[in-house]
Amino acid sequence: MSQSTAKSPAKPYHLRLPATSANLGPGFDALGLAMALYLTIDAIVADAFQIDATGRNADQCARLEDNLILTTYIDVLANAAIRAPRLHLQLHNEIPLGMGCGSSASALLAGVFLANHFGNLGWSGQQILEEACHREGHPDNVAACYLGGMTASAMSENSVTTASCGENIIWGLNLALPSHSLATKKARALLPATYSREDVVANIQSTALLVAAFAQGRGDLLRTAMKDRIHQPYRMKACPLLPLLLPLASHPAILGIALSGAGPSVLIITQEARPSVLPDIIRQAAGDRSLEVIQTTISTGALEA
């Protein structure tokens, strides 16, 4: 198929996409929470591809080879038989890469948004969302990144159905980040092919309570609602921080604890937005005085201008 060039030189484009914590314990591949840590991109058409990156993992974000944002951008346009205009991206990243904070979802969505804008595709928000979800293979991070708050999603071969709530809840999101990363692909390979009825029923019960907790702002439900039996137990060996921090679930300042996404980071939700005592409590439980703890809050979804 021969490629055409995009119809008109597009205007500069600004994009801000939040980090996301998927699963929240039991909601494997179904629930995600947007967090106020952002991938921000300002893009213009240029003579050659260039990325100037600042912030977290800036060197990796600035690499032009095998860059998930650029490969997605180019591939989406190639599928529409459009030669991708070369872009200069100014990028600021606050999302830890490969740590269970939805970096790949934000990069995939960024690539699809850029293709829609600079290729003049005229896609609806739903089409952008579905393209990114199918590229990721599961919808939980992408849907929360796009829509914000706590987003529930279901994906079939042809469509993605979503519902969001909890965007205005001011709970604290405390992320404990070990020093090593873990590729989602590896973390998924640790999971069994089948589960017992007891484990599945326990997760359905927790997930139902979890959705109610966010819909009604019921922090008191989280301790029970964030219990998981279908992915966390199998990921412990690759996420050694999790068994050290799970016992903190009974601490009075803490509402609930789960592996963040596929790990290895751990998400600890608190009633207070940024409890100053919590980083030390987490570091003590982890036995690591230099453990990084990021304190943030629930975010709105994708912004473009």
Ligand X SMILES: Nc1ncnc2c1ncn2[C@@H]1O[C@H](COP(=O)(O)OP(=O)(O)OP(=O)(O)O)[C@@H](O)[C@H]1O
Interacting residues with ligand HSE (CB under 6 A): 22-23, 28-29, 138, 140-141, 184, 187-188, 231, 261-262
Q: Are 25 and 258 in contact (CB under 8 A)?
A: yes
Among 33, 68, 115, 248, binds ligand X (CB under 6 A): 68
Q: 89 vs 238, which CB is nearer to ligand HSE?
A: 238
Q: Does 39 bind ligand X (CB under 6 A)?
A: yes
Is the separation of the CB atoms in 267 and 150 below 8 Å? no
The tokens for 67 are: 């860059």
User: Is residue 264 close enough to count as binding ligand X by CB under 6 A?
Assistant: no
Total Cβ atoms within 10 A of residue 140: 28
Contact 208, 201 (CB under 8 A): no
Compare residues 259 and 298 and give the one whose CB is closer to ligand HSE.
Answer: 259
**H-run or E-run covering 39:** strand 27-45
84 binds, among ligand HSE, ligand X, none (CB under 5 to 8 A by kind): none
Between 18 and 219, whose beta carbon lies closer to ligand X? Answer: 18
Does 299 bind ligand X (CB under 6 A)? Our answer is: no
Contact 225, 206 (CB under 8 A): yes
CA gap 42, 19 in Å, rounded: 18
Nearer to ligand X, 38 or 281 (CB): 38
C-alpha 183 chain-centroid distance: 13
d(CA 126, CA 34): 18
Closest approach of Cβ 67 to ligand X, in Å?
A: 5
- Asked if 190 touches ligand X (CB under 6 A), the answer is no
Question: Which CA distances in Å does 279 have to 101, 226, 284, 289?
Answer: 18, 20, 9, 9
For residue 29, the partner it binds in ligand HSE, ligand X, none, with Cβ less than 5 to 8 A by kind, is ligand HSE
- Pick one of 99, 169, 255, 269: the residue that binds ligand X (CB under 6 A): 99
Residue 131's binding partner, choosing from ligand HSE, ligand X, none, with beta-carbon cut-off 5 to 8 A by kind?
A: none
CA geometry: angle at 175 spanning 253 and 166, to 5°?
70
Only one residue has tokens 């909601």, namely 27
Residues of span 146-185 touching ligand X by CB under 6 A:
183-184
* 80: its two tokens: 């529409």
The smaller minimum CB distance to ligand X, of residues 17 and 210, is found at: 17
Tell me which of 101, 121, 128, 133 binds ligand X, using CB under 6 A. Answer: 101
Q: Least distance from C-beta 195 to ligand X, angstroms?
A: 20
| Contact set with ligand X (CB under 6 A) | 22, 39, 61, 67-69, 93, 97-105, 107, 141, 183-184, 261-262
